[in-house]
Amino acid sequence: MKEGNVLFSEERIKRRVRELAVEITRDYAGKPLTVVAVLKGSVRFLHDLLDCLGEHLTVELIEASSYGDRTNSSGSVLIRSYGQLRVSGRDVLVVDDIADTGLTLQSVVSEIETRGARSVRTCVLLDKPSRRRVPLEPDYRGFTIGDVFVVGYGLDYAGRFRDLPYIALLRPTEKAR
């Protein structure tokens, strides 16, 4: 990955994640919170958020996939939970890497509501509002970006680049490699 492709540096991301955590901590004001993280893209974001979020917290993990190895949403979302997804009666914060079409978050939120959560909010590191296909507005967002494909900080292209500590643009010519 070339340096010129970097969109958000590691330092900038960490700073923004800390700000989000402060906002979340203030909004929930010591109430027990259940974080539901959408794997795999959110792993790094989750890790850094948990570093800054207070106590009274439980974490549930789910996996949602709609992309496969392509860079366009297939439109159908598959949700898999790891163990029981304990959200009944809880205040839930869904954490994902990015809101693109919004289909993933919409499915996850509706699944959690069906399971009887007391409240559900969403938190994404990145938001691509211009790509939205359903009316979904994240409650917490790190950065708003245009219609570009990004990798790094947990986000992959066909399984690659998740390990990058920063977020970079993946140019069409780099997709073939």
Q: Is 127 labeled as catalytic in the residue annotation?
A: no
Question: Interacting stretch for Mg ion, rule CB under 5 A, among 2-10, 25-33, 34-42, 133-141?
Answer: 34-42
Q: How far is the CB of 98 from Mg ion (least distance, A)?
A: 7
Interior/surface letters 74-101, b for 16+ CB within 10 angstroms, e for the rest: eeebebebeeebebeebbbbbbbbbbbb
Which string of x and - marks every residue 134-163 that binds ligand 5GP (by CB under 6 A)?
---------------xxx---xxx------
Q: Is 152 in the site for Mg ion (CB under 5 A)?
A: no
Residue type, 28: Y
H runs (alpha helix) in 65-149: 103-114
Query: Does 127 interact with ligand 5GP (rule: CB under 6 A)?
Result: no
Contact 32, 58 (CB under 8 A): yes
**Given the residues 48, 96, 97, 100, the one annotated as active site:** 100
Question: Is residue 34 within the footprint of ligand 5GP (CB under 6 A)?
Answer: no
Count residues near ligand 5GP (CB under 6 A).
19
For residues 34 and 58, the answer to whether their CB atoms sit within 8 Å is: yes
36 binds ligand 5GP (CB under 6 A): no
17's tokens:
């994640």
Contacts with ligand 5GP in 70-109 (CB under 6 A)?
A: 73, 96-104
φ/ψ of residue 141, rounded to 5: -140, 140
- Running DSSP on this structure, what letter comes out for residue 81? E
Please give the residue ranges that form the binding site for ligand 5GP (CB under 6 A).
41, 66-67, 73, 96-104, 149-151, 155-157
Active site residues: 100
